[in-house]
Structure 1
Amino acid sequence: MFVDDPKEVRDTDVSAIAALDEPTRRRLYDHVVRQPGPVSRDDAAAALGLARQTAAFHLDRLADESLLDVVYERRSGRTGPGAGRPAKLYRRSGKQIAVSLPDRRYELAGRLLAQAVEESAATGAPVRDVLHRKAEELGARLEEPGGASLFELLERYGFEPRQEETGAIVLGNCPFHALAREHTQTVCGMNLHLLRGVLQGLGERAYTACLAPAPGRCCVRLEPAGA
């Protein structure tokens, strides 16, 4: 399973949401997504009472942020010489945008849980055993191509690590918070094995991941090896 760079995805999503803060741009976006088919600059400008140049500027900005897709069609239906240039049209993109504070990774958890259920159904292996293995395998693959420290990787995936005087690393945020509250044993076990995989993937032998639930933080704690 491929996992996109979470910082890059988050930055892109924040930029896209910021683009919708401009009132005219938001009106254009809402107009386009309500239409049954792609919308031209002229159609959008006429529908909202805007100058064509204004509509074009904001529509292109929405396309640059991947909020709208651009397609080209001949509105006359004619083809061949004399049919004219295809019109530039806009429609809702397939991009999904979500920004949460604190950082949450529910899609990642959902993929792991779905994979575990499917493999369990196909092989008869216990779902929890499969989930733990899948989580550990994923954690081991999260290492970045350019190399990243343990702290950098934990920060990138929303765990908010901080080091205590004892040398232990406490994780101030659980990316699966709501799920962990309702399905504690399942989700915390998945998270434990995910972080064990992270340590394995980084070749990090100075720490051991263990369950240490406490209010206001992740259920997993990284203890100095041998502590």
Structure 2
Amino acid sequence: MQQTLKITNVLSDPTRYSIYEYITTNHKNVTVQEIADKFSIHPNVARLHLSKLEDVNMLKSENRKTGKGGRPSRIYQLSDDVIELNFPFRDYHLLAKIAIESMVQLGEIAEPALYETGRRFGYELMENQITKYGLTSDQLTFDQKVEIFKSTCTMLGLYPDLYIQEGQKKLHLQVFNCPFREIAKEHKSTTCNMHIAFIKGLLESLFDDFELLATQNMFEGCDACAYRINIPN
């Protein structure tokens, strides 16, 4: 509870919250000077905000040489620590671990059920998102579908980057945050395949036909998980 109070106190400052949001959105390391310039604040104030975020393990930092001589520059990046705020306490991580490990114990016979459940949850979640627009999937333009897909991935905390290949209906999706990171470290194949099935469910609600290909995996030394989505004309 004490840590929860510390986190809520740190994020109660609008500028500090905006700084954290900026770092999560841009998927890159930042320096004190960059934050000072971006938010038009004094470097000492920027350093204080970054230090406060680091104190509650939302950021981590290290000294890194710039290659220009002089003192190393201190860079800040997102922490890998899980930050959860639940009132009253809930242990959803333990529940997820129990579910995945139960499936693993059941062996190959249980995998189709796990992946189908992931796909169905993705489909139903996207259907709910579409209804907020007061339209059906058939009434949405391609650009609208892409925007809904991206905003949904953002809502799910995936920290996504989504690009449309110019002149073609090909999407490139990068996911910088795995919501199942702790489980995937122990059961990579099962967890990653379930997550892919979930993404397929999101897409199935928007597009009648598509091909989803995984091209990068953050658990194989990459900065992010990446997918190529081909949509026939």
Whether the TM-score (by the shorter chain) exceeds 0.5 is: no
Q: TM-score range by the shorter chain?
A: 0.3 to 0.5
Q: Could you state the TM-score of these two structures normalised by the residue count of structure 1?
A: 0.45
Q: Could you state the TM-score of these two structures normalised by the residue count of structure 2?
A: 0.44
More helix by share: 2
Larger Rg: 1
